[in-house]
Structure 1
Amino acid sequence: MHLNLKPRNRLSKNPKKTRPARLGATISLLLFMIGLPLLSVFGMELLERGSFTNTIQWIVANQTLFFLNVGLSFCLLAFVYAIVGSLAISGSITTLLLGLMALISYMKVKMIGEPFFPWDILLNKESMDIASLVTGKAAMLRIGAVLVAVIVVLLLRWVLPRVTLPLISRIGLGLFSLYAMYAFGVKTPLAGKILDHAGVNEIVWNQQENYTNNGLALAFTLNVKNSIVPKPENYSDQSIAAVAANLQQSQTSGVQKASVSADPLNGKKPNVIFVMSEAFWDPTLLTNVKFSEDPLPTIHRLQKESTSGYLLSPQFGGGTSNVEFEVLTGNSMSMLPGGSIPYQQYVSKPVPSLASYFADQGYKSMGIHSYEGWFWNRNTVYKDLGFQTFKSSEHFQNPETKGYFISDAEVSRNIIDEVDKTADPMFIYTVTMQNHGPYDDPRYGENHFKVEGNLTPDAKSILETYTQGAHDADQSLQMLIDHFKDSSEPTMIVFYGDHLPMLGMDYQVYKEAGFINSSNTSEWSLEEVKKMHSIPLVTWANFDMPKQDIPLLSDSFLGAHVLDMLHMEKPANFALNSQLAAQVPGLLSNLVVDADQSLHTKVPDATKALLEDYRNVQYDLLFGKQYLASYIDHDYLSKTAQASYNAEFTDPDSSLRANGESTPEAKPVSAQ
């Protein structure tokens, strides 16, 4: 490779002076190409870990891993240089990219306990919306440090020697660097040997520990391959045929049992309303904290009177769409790469769900969300999930707001309005927004519910603001009950939250209240993992329904359970869910709860075969060749998206036809 290294003094004609200048230029080039990646990795880890001492300790204890991170940073620098052709400009671009990676990862960990993943790049507007919620001195200092570093490197343009590589050499350097990053990203055989020799231990099921142990650049690169879900080893037409045969046998016995069981509705179809309340949780579960009065009277009454229990959420503090994905499709996030977002990555074609199932049963299947339809790609995904219509905030008429967002009471009014003006029975999947974080600003004015306990003033304010919003959610549920208890239409309501709220950075309120012992999730006991992912679930119906106690149930198994409560025949994938839930009702990537409520890190041996069936079916429906539809429930499993999706919001005549109305006058809504 030929380097054209020219000294800054171009007027010099003395060869004796030119040779030292060229030597100095070569040394400067080497120092820059080696030194900048070293400093970049150190800076990234310092931003991420927040402590000079912790960063040095990690480097000393993991020297091989440190140099692997440096190597990847060098490849990025070399690749950018091959494109740009200027050392200083390439260095500043690389510093900016790596700095942004560290900043985003730091913010995500502080907010929801998850680092920065390759697929987060696909979030676009969502990432900007979340970033706007991040404030604080620590974040501002880190942003300032990154900007200063970028400017300092850029200023080196007037210090470094001008280095010119022939075009062919730059192309070669760029291709080599790109391949090296690709090799580690997809873990080619050679890269795998290097990683094994270096002692890299990839902890996919605990990504925060994965990043802490391996370093940000390396862990991020290794996660690239996790963007592609690998085919299960025993996935085949034959294995799916065996699952179908088992399901057909169980469906036959299920029909026989159903024929002798009581149907409280005598075949009449009830409205089925799911309300997934944003960040809803029971703050009275916090230890060492007391409230001036009960903030959740409706929830606590229903826990005594109706079917209720707890759902095991795959999320904490964010990732609402992943909970929707589990409930609506019956699929589990534990079968997908840690930190992935199916709505962004995997749902790009029709996927069978509760929405498409209820539509097949003669229901009007509707999604309601009091935020903008583009968020988490719902506008497109809801069509692929088989909804007939999706009412996002753009279609709310002069909505009431409370705090930052549309109020929960307004959402309840919209649910009531949609049911009252629709002739057909309705399946409604509702997602609220009012009590979305952050809670460090008393956005509801003076909070009615006062907290007593050993909390700092900041933690006390955060908890009181959150509790006020949780109370509003509780009252919005009561509004629905008050309306439908006197309705002639049989109606069932399923109410729960998507995840625990993020009550301050680093789990501040949870720690101060003694709910958990550490902000480091890798140090949590299995019991703490369970507590930090358990969400209250309550149901209500205006018709007789036996009370059941649900100790714990994964979100992915909720749909099958509700269909059982309604005495509705379950389609194939939900029938398989019931079988698995009977053995392991709680299923996360790092926690398994068996039928006796015992906690495990892995699925018990007796359940492994059934879990593999579940994994194969999920892969078949999302990524595979749809073998299952060839053997069972073909129409449901292979159903295409609704041709008239959202027509009622674009074509008024279609709206009237869909609602079974002959005039534009809607049924009156009872005053609440």
Structure 2
Amino acid sequence: MHLNLKPRRRRPKLSSSRLGASISLLVFTIGLPILSVLGIEFLERGNFHDTMQWITGNQPLFLLNVGLTFSLLAFLYAIVGSLAIAGSLSTLILGLMAIISYMKVKMIGEPFFPWDILLNKESMDIASLVTGKAALIRIIAVAVAIIAVLLLRWVIPKVRVPMIARVGVGLFAVYALYAFGIKTPLAGKILDHAGVNEIVWDQQENYVNNGLALAFTLNVKNSIVKKPDTYSEQSIAAAAASIQEANTQGADVKSAKLAKGKQPNVIFIMSEAFWDPTLLTNVSFSADPLPTIHRLQKESSSGYLLSPQFGGGTSNVEFEVLTGNSMSFLPGGSIPYQQYVSKPMPSLASYFADQGYKSMGIHSYEGWFWDRNTVYKELGFESFKSSEHFVNPETKGYFISDAEVARNVIDEVDKTDNPMFIYTVTMQNHGPYDDPRYGENQFKATGNLSAQAKSILETYTQGAHDADQSLQMLIDHFKDSDEPTMIVFYGDHLPMLGLDYQVYKEAGFISTSDANKWSLDEIKKMHSIPLVTWSNFDMPKQDIPLLSDSFLGAHVLDMLHLEKPANFALDAELAQQVPGLLNNLIVDPNGQLHKAAPETAASLITEYRNVQYDLMFGKQYLADYVDHDYLTKGTQADYNAEFGDAQAASAKSEADGNDEKPASAQ
């Protein structure tokens, strides 16, 4: 009888113990993902009120973020077999994502993308460039959270789960992460039911609306470029034949040998966030902030470019102009400089190098930015002068001034014997503009604007005026030069004038802050950038109503009467039928706006897409049929040698100087 009583006395204790363990595990596996999402959104948004407002107002999105975080936890548990260790690892991963995203937004207005993981070390070294209390608090908070979760290892009941069950949990977690990352049909239905709105053209807003975990996961599919169904050697052969026929018809085109038999310098100036603020409706200014631009619009070839970007993504505009390729055929939110340009790629830089030019890139910011140090080499530049190579540069506001950039362009042209192709990118007027960083702004805005919107607009306008004056500085120098020179000046995208398009909305330039509800005309306005040209030799004036950035290179070659290489010849042919090409807007030659390509241009657009895929990802069939040397050209062997030698000399000089100092001084 006594033996029979022992199990009866133990069963309640065993049952209670198992119940307690089950409750503890349930609380941990559900509670930790909830707290993780709460924590990373707090780190991302900066205050508890906005975080709770997002959670309470977007419960389906919050639950999706929790589900993805749970899947990460489950996957890690399947690997390590310890909930506490898996929890600390997931906290570490999510915390790092939140911190990096916070720092990236502070630096360049873009959140953390999946493809950022593949960047070179120098391109990921954002932490050293962002200092301050806010960043330090976030780092400490994540570290404390990791330690706290790890300490739960001695609190959470130890439960042995059979290996087969762990494998099942891991497989389920992997499938869940895969399904949302690739957006399978089932995942797509869930996302639609939850009301997910993926804003690929404004990734900062995409992350704010959908949450970090969900937005990051949805961007995974944007790392994958699918081969077009129409791509084959036969389709590329047909494209090559079309290109050759177009070149034959334009065989009378001659090389640009101008005054005194010299080839002209060709200087592209892509001015950071340059736009014409006088285009705002219901707003006026105390004086004209862009006198040079407005004069050139009357006197020289000018018009508007259709940018694939708004508020950020400068390198994507560079990519379109330099390569003639279109962002319309790449995944939304992708960054070609960081993802796809890892081998030599034909561009304007390599083309002009073949014509005897010195091709140089100039940018008044660090060379790692957007991975330009390596990308410019792959695009065929001979050298790249980034801010590290500016000597005692003048700054204005936060960055090197536009006037300093103009002086560097002049210096490089004047000291170089060969004609130059220069692609210049400025930085002075980079956002944000909520801090009146230029002091007392010269141009006062009048209109139905809030005090905050008025301050933002006036700060931006002062910077735009400085850009205008830097262009005038270049004109003043080259108008008296005996070297024929052409300048092509434009912006990369419209500026981000406050959150939720604040200035544009208050000024009545757009009807709503919801970009998904914009009309085609509003989409066009929010992507149209002023383009002006100038030359110190005679060129017929042309009016350019609207032209995609990807077609600008071909247009400039035509203006210079230079024979176009294969890909730019195809650009010119397509631009005649579809001058404006975005993934959500098509502009025909009559200026009519369409959501999709007209039937008359569909086959040529398909040809354009096939050629782009062939050059970037495919078998490079095109080089077998036309322009083989240009299309297969490698990088320049002495890329950046002039600045490498200067760096070596500087390092040697510094070392010699240190040798002469007493040890205490070193």
Distance 1:141 1:515 in 2: 39
Distance 1:460 1:141 in 2: 32
Relative to 1, partners in 2 of residues 1:595 and 1:267: Cα closer, same or farther, differing over 3 Å? Answer: farther
Distance 1:493 1:251 in 2: 26
Relative to 1, partners in 2 of residues 1:109 and 1:622: Cα closer, same or farther, differing over 3 Å? Answer: same
Relative to 1, partners in 2 of residues 1:602 and 1:55: Cα closer, same or farther, differing over 3 Å? Answer: farther
Select the residue among 415, 420, 445 that pairs with 1:426.
Answer: 420
Q: Say whether 1:182 aligns with 2:175.
A: no
Q: Say whether 1:255 aligns with 2:251.
A: yes
In structure 2, the residue matched to 1:80 is 76
TM-score (norm 2): 0.85
Relative to 1, partners in 2 of residues 1:111 and 1:422: Cα closer, same or farther, differing over 3 Å? Answer: closer
1:587-628, CA deviations, whole angstroms, 9 ceiling, x for partnerless residues? 111111111111111111211111110000000000001000
Q: What is the correspondence of 1:243-642 to structure 2 with a 5 Å cutoff?
A: 243-256=239-252, 258=253, 265=259, 268-642=262-636
Bigger mean CA offset, 115-124 vs 295-304: 115-124
Amino acid across the alignment from 1:358: F
Number of paired residues?
633
Relative to 1, partners in 2 of residues 1:185 and 1:415: Cα closer, same or farther, differing over 3 Å? Answer: same
Distance 2:393 2:290 in 1: 24
Q: Say whether 1:18 aligns with 2:8.
A: no
Residue segments in structure 2 that go unaligned for 5+ positions in a row: 1-8, 650-666
Relative to 1, partners in 2 of residues 1:574 and 1:545: Cα closer, same or farther, differing over 3 Å? Answer: same
Q: What is the correspondence of 1:188-267 to structure 2 with a 5 Å cutoff?
A: 191-193=184-186, 195-196=188-189, 217-218=213-214, 220-256=216-252, 258=253, 265=259
Amino acid across the alignment from 2:432: P
2:337–2:370 contact (8 Å) kept in structure 1:
yes
Distance 1:97 1:262 in 2: 56
Amino acid across the alignment from 2:231: Y
In structure 1, the residue matched to 2:654 is none
Amino acid across the alignment from 2:593: L
1:314–1:533 contact (8 Å) kept in structure 2:
yes
In structure 1, the residue matched to 2:662 is none
2:240–2:626 contact (8 Å) kept in structure 1:
yes
Bigger mean CA offset, 110-119 vs 22-31: 110-119
Distance 2:368 2:421 in 1: 22
2:179–2:187 contact (8 Å) kept in structure 1:
no
Amino acid across the alignment from 1:577: D
1:279–1:436 contact (8 Å) kept in structure 2:
yes
SS in structure 1 of the partner of residue 251 of structure 2:
helix
Amino acid across the alignment from 1:348: S
Relative to 1, partners in 2 of residues 1:337 and 1:562: Cα closer, same or farther, differing over 3 Å? Answer: same
Relative to 1, partners in 2 of residues 1:382 and 1:227: Cα closer, same or farther, differing over 3 Å? Answer: same
Relative to 1, partners in 2 of residues 1:653 and 1:186: Cα closer, same or farther, differing over 3 Å? Answer: closer
Distance 2:305 2:131 in 1: 28
Relative to 1, partners in 2 of residues 1:44 and 1:652: Cα closer, same or farther, differing over 3 Å? Answer: closer
SS in structure 1 of the partner of residue 250 of structure 2:
helix
Distance 1:600 1:110 in 2: 36
TM-score (norm 1): 0.84
In structure 2, the residue matched to 1:660 is none
1:265-285, CA deviations, whole angstroms, 9 ceiling, x for partnerless residues? 586310000011111111111
Amino acid across the alignment from 1:27: I
1:264–1:544 contact (8 Å) kept in structure 2:
no
Amino acid across the alignment from 1:447: N
Distance 2:197 2:450 in 1: 38
In structure 1, the residue matched to 2:655 is none
1:457-478, CA deviations, whole angstroms, 9 ceiling, x for partnerless residues? 2222222221111111111111
Bigger mean CA offset, 394-403 vs 362-371: 394-403
Residue segments in structure 1 that go unaligned for 5+ positions in a row: 1-12, 656-672
1:3-51, CA deviations, whole angstroms, 9 ceiling, x for partnerless residues? xxxxxxxxxx955423311122123313432454466568878978947
Distance 2:646 2:154 in 1: 65
* Distance apart, 1:510 and its partner CA: 1.8
* Distance apart, 1:523 and its partner CA: 1.9
SS in structure 2 of the partner of residue 606 of structure 1:
helix
* Distance apart, 1:70 and its partner CA: 4.7
In structure 2, the residue matched to 1:663 is none
* Distance apart, 1:241 and its partner CA: 0.3
SS in structure 1 of the partner of residue 562 of structure 2:
coil
Relative to 1, partners in 2 of residues 1:313 and 1:168: Cα closer, same or farther, differing over 3 Å? Answer: same
2:116–2:338 contact (8 Å) kept in structure 1:
no
Distance 2:481 2:132 in 1: 47
Relative to 1, partners in 2 of residues 1:109 and 1:553: Cα closer, same or farther, differing over 3 Å? Answer: farther
* Distance apart, 1:295 and its partner CA: 1.1
SS in structure 2 of the partner of residue 650 of structure 1:
helix
SS in structure 2 of the partner of residue 357 of structure 1:
helix
2:256–2:560 contact (8 Å) kept in structure 1:
no
2:322–2:347 contact (8 Å) kept in structure 1:
yes
Relative to 1, partners in 2 of residues 1:134 and 1:329: Cα closer, same or farther, differing over 3 Å? Answer: farther
SS in structure 2 of the partner of residue 182 of structure 1:
helix
Relative to 1, partners in 2 of residues 1:277 and 1:211: Cα closer, same or farther, differing over 3 Å? Answer: closer
Relative to 1, partners in 2 of residues 1:105 and 1:403: Cα closer, same or farther, differing over 3 Å? Answer: closer
Distance 2:373 2:263 in 1: 28
Bigger mean CA offset, 262-271 vs 613-622: 262-271
SS in structure 1 of the partner of residue 466 of structure 2:
helix
* Distance apart, 1:395 and its partner CA: 1.3
1:112–1:316 contact (8 Å) kept in structure 2:
no
SS in structure 2 of the partner of residue 347 of structure 1:
coil
Relative to 1, partners in 2 of residues 1:653 and 1:488: Cα closer, same or farther, differing over 3 Å? Answer: farther
Amino acid across the alignment from 1:392: S
Relative to 1, partners in 2 of residues 1:523 and 1:100: Cα closer, same or farther, differing over 3 Å? Answer: farther
1:318-370, CA deviations, whole angstroms, 9 ceiling, x for partnerless residues? 11111110000000111100010001000000000000000001111111111
